[in-house]
Structure formats: structure tokens, C-alpha cells
């Protein structure tokens, strides 16, 4: 009865368009009031105490760093470098978009932020070059999802906090899977561009001197991931402190090196980060309350027993979990899904011998696919907004990229060394 109340209320709220954070909190409230003897203030108590976490401070600071870099000229220089590297290829603008998103992913840690920063430039540029609007927006939306896989990654920080896994190890684990997805999206774009005869961007041939010049121009931007990751793995600072360093560095290069930031844009960046982070923290807090009540009702244990009875083969269990997560990603945002599902699924997979780091990459890769799957598809909405292309048109054009990402997900699932080799070097 209590479980029916909990999930029935949640699905009803989602169906009528109630925001996800309110849906999670309200469904827990209804289930506690009608189905248990717990005090109602347990919801606010758990929501508040869940945010009292030093590692979680990395999330707002990485958000702020990404916004400052977008406004401070980093995006433009990364685009110039990407153009010099791959602009000469067939469908050059699409290739530039994907490579630039991979660069920006190593800075921002956020999928939607990557789409907004790179897509804001590249979607109109592709449409001007007679690219189909749906295709142009789908390229930016799918490439933006790499932002949560290539480190630093906000979902990896959250997974590490919830699952008790090293955030530094998670960052390392995401490098090769992120590169794999990027290459798969480039191949997909190339096939479509060749079929539609999309011409290269400028220059029309590869010039090594142009790459060197663009690299020199972007050197301060390219140093950001080196400083962040080098500092973490060198033991100089923690991931949370690395996020603060990223903010300070972004301010310095934006104000004094590139000089494209002014105090007005700095204020706007802080205000934007506060608004986004407030929304994120409300979601995290109420998601924890929802997950706590599920734990009290032993729902994770029941799901664990069901999956264990389904099969003792870890690959079969991972396949079942992948199917579940793809569906969940269509309706629930990444942060809520991570907070709710990590305590449920992590004990199940570790019981059958799956490495927690490997599973973290699988989990986040699944939810990255959720960024480009309707009806929630946050990246699709961002691409639609910055590109002025109808959501329905992008939803159709995204299908080939969605297939590519699912194939990459299967490779990540069935080939653990792709995720575990780099973290293994630290042991």
C-alpha cells in the first residue's frame, strides 16, 4: 500500500507537469502521512542534512566556473582550435561542434552548459551554411551530453558522494568513455554529412601551422583541465578545492588575460550560478528524502532480491539495469535519478562483482543518454532555445546519435577496462 502511494503519487505529479523536486517531496509526504507513523518533518530534516556535505560544494563552484568560462572568451578560442583541427573534414561545422564540446566538457562538467556555450555559436553557423536545422541542433545536443562524462563531471561528484567512491577515480574513469562517445558522434555526423553533401568549414585542408596558432591562442583555456586534474591527482587539492581553483582561474583569465569579462558580466555569472545551484540543491535535498523513505520501506532490498532471482550473471543484471536507466532518463533528471537510484542499484551490482567505479560510469552514461531522449531531454530543449529550431524537429534528427550513444553504452558496459584502466594506475 505504501509503495503504491509513493510511486502512484510521483507518477501522477510528473504526468500533470509538477516540477521533479516538488514531485519527489510531495510523493514522500503523501506516503509518510497515509502509510507510516513517521513524523512529517523527517522530509525537511533529511533534505537539509543531506546538503551539509563538503564534497557537494564542488557542484556550485564547477557550475560557476563553467559560466565564467563561457562568458570570458574560452568558448570562442576552443571553437577556433577545433576548427583548425577538424574543420577541413566533410561536415566540418558538425565536427567542430563535437570536438569543441569535448574540450568544453573538460572544463564545465555540465551537459546543458556545454550545449549552451558551444551550440550558441555553432547551431546558427551550421544553419547559415545550409545545414538542416534539426541536424545542427541534434549535433550540439548529443555532443553536449559528453559534458557529464569527460572530467570534471558534476554527476561523478554526486555519485562519488552518495556511493562512497573516490571522486578522483571517477574523473579518471570517464576519460576514455567520453572520448569513445565523441568519436562515435563524429563518425555518425560524417556519414550523414557525406550523404547530404555538407561541405567542410574553413580551412578546407588541414594546416598544422593553423593548429599550432590556435593552440597558442587557446593555451590559457587548455590549461584549465590540466590544473584541475593535475592538482587532484598530484594531491595538491581535493575535487572541491579544485572547483574553487577553477573559479579563481576563470576570473583571472577572463578579466586580465582575454579581457572579455567585466564586472557586470561577473555579477551576471554569479547570479546565474546561484539560480541554477538553488534549483539543483532543492532537487538533491528532496531526492534524498524520497530515497531515505524508500530505504525505510526496504524497496531497494526488494528490487535487489528480484534482480538476483532474475539471474546471477552480472552481464544480464547490467543489461536489465541499462534498460531501466534509459527509461528513467526519459522522465527524470540526472541529479534526481542519481540520488534515488544509486543507493538502490549500487549494492546489487557490487554483490555480483561489478566494480563501483565501472558501475558509476555506466550509470552516468545512461543518464547522459537521458539528456537527448524526449520528453524530458534537457539538452534538446537547450539546443532548441539557442538554435531557434522546433523541439519536434530535433527529436527526429537526434535518433542516429541516440543509436550511436547506446552502442557506446554497451561497449562501456561489457568492456570494463575502458573505465577501469586509468583508475587502476593510481592503485
Element (H, E) at 337: helix 334-351
Burial class of residue 43, CB neighbours in 10 A (0-12, 13-18, 19+)? buried
Q: Give which of 145, 168, 169 is closest to 367, Cα–Cα.
A: 145
pLDDT at 176: 95
- Rounded distance, CA 289 to CA 39, Å? 13
Query: Is 65 within 8 Å of 152 (Cβ atoms)?
Result: no
pLDDT at 220: 87
Cell of 126: 551550421
pLDDT at 272: 83
Q: To which residue does cell 523527517 refer?
A: 42
Q: Give which of 390, 380, 375 is closest to 329, Cα–Cα.
A: 375
CB atoms within 10 A of CB 216: 11
- Rounded distance, CA 168 to CA 159, Å? 12
CA 152 to mean position of chain CA atoms: 10
Q: Give which of 68, 142, 116 is closest to 371, Cα–Cα.
A: 142
Tens-digit pLDDT string for the chain (427 aa):
677 788 888 888 878 878 877 888 888 888 888 877 778 888 888 888 877 777 778 778 887 887 888 788 887 888 888 888 888 888 888 898 999 888 887 777 677 778 877 887 788 888 888 888 899 999 999 998 988 898 888 889 889 988 889 888 999 999 999 999 999 999 999 999 999 888 776 656 677 888 888 888 888 888 888 888 888 877 888 888 888 888 898 899 888 888 888 888 899 989 988 887 787 788 778 877 887 777 777 776 677 677 777 777 888 889 988 988 888 887 777 777 888 888 888 888 888 889 999 999 999 999 889 888 876 677 887 888 777 888 888 889 999 999 999 999 999 999 999 999 998 887 6
pLDDT at 344: 83
Q: Give which of 8, 121, 15 is closest to 75, Cα–Cα.
A: 121
Amino acid at each position: 500500500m505504501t509503495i503504491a502511494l509513493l510511486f502512484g503519487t510521483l507518477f501522477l505529479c510528473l504526468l500533470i507537469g509538477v516540477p521533479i523536486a516538488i514531485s519527489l517531496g510531495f510523493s514522500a509526504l503523501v506516503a509518510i502521512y497515509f502509510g507510516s507513523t513517521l513524523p512529517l518533518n523527517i522530509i525537511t530534516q533529511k533534505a537539509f542534512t543531506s546538503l551539509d556535505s563538503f564534497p557537494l560544494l564542488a557542484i556550485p563552484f564547477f557550475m560557476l566556473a563553467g559560466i565564467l568560462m563561457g562568458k570570458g572568451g574560452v568558448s570562442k578560442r576552443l571553437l577556433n582550435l577545433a576548427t583548425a583541427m577538424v574543420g577541413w573534414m566533410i561536415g566540418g561545422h558538425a565536427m567542430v561542434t563535437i570536438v569543441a564540446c569535448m574540450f568544453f566538457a573538460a572544463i564545465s562538467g555540465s551537459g546543458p552548459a556545454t550545449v549552451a556555450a558551444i551550440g550558441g555559436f555553432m547551431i546558427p553557423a551550421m544553419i547559415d551554411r545550409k545545414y538542416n536545422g534539426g541536424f545542427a541542433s541534434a549535433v550540439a545536443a548529443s555532443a553536449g551530453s559528453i559534458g557529464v562524462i569527460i572530467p570534471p563531471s558534476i554527476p561523478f561528484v554526486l555519485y562519488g558522494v552518495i556511493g562512497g567512491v573516490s571522486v578522483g577515480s571517477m574523473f579518471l574513469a570517464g576519460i576514455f568513455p567520453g572520448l569513445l562517445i565523441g568519436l562515435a558522434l563524429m563518425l555518425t555526423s560524417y556519414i550523414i554529412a557525406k550523404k547530404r553533401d555538407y561541405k567542410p568549414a574553413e580551412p578546407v585542408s588541414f594546416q598544422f601551422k593553423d593548429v599550432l596558432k590556435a593552440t597558442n591562442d587557446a593555451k590559457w583555456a587548455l590549461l584549465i583541465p590540466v590544473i584541475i586534474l593535475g592538482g587532484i591527482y598530484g594531491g595538491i587539492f581535493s575535487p572541491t578545492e579544485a572547483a574553487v581553483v577553477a573559479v579563481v582561474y576563470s576570473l583571472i583569465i577572463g578579466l586580465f588575460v582575454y579581457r572579455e569579462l567585466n564586472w557586470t558580466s561577473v555579477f551576471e555569472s554569479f547570479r546565474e550560478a546561484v539560480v541554477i545551484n538553488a534549483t539543483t540543491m532543492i532537487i538533491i535535498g528532496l531526492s534524498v528524502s524520497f530515497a531515505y523513505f524508500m530505504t525505510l520501506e526496504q524497496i531497494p532490498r526488494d528490487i535487489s532480491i528480484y534482480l538476483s532471482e532474475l539471474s546471477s550473471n552480472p552481464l544480464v543484471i547490467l543489461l536489465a539495469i541499462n534498460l531501466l536507466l534509459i527509461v528513467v532518463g526519459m522522465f527524470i533528471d540526472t541529479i534526481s535519478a542519481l540520488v534515488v537510484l544509486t543507493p538502490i542499484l549500487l549494492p546489487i551490482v557490487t554483490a555480483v562483482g561489478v566494480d563501483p567505479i565501472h558501475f558509476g560510469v555506466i550509470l552516468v552514461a545512461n543518464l547522459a543518454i537521458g539528456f537527448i531522449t524526449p520528453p524530458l531531454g534537457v539538452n534538446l530543449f537547450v539546443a532548441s532555445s539557442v538554435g531557434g529550431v522546433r523541439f519536434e524537429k530535433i527529436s527526429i534528427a537526434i535518433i542516429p546519435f541516440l543509436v550511436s550513444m547506446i552502442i557506446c553504452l554497451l561497449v562501456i558496459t561489457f568492456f570494463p577496462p575502458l573505465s577501469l584502466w586509468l583508475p587502476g594506475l593510481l592503485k
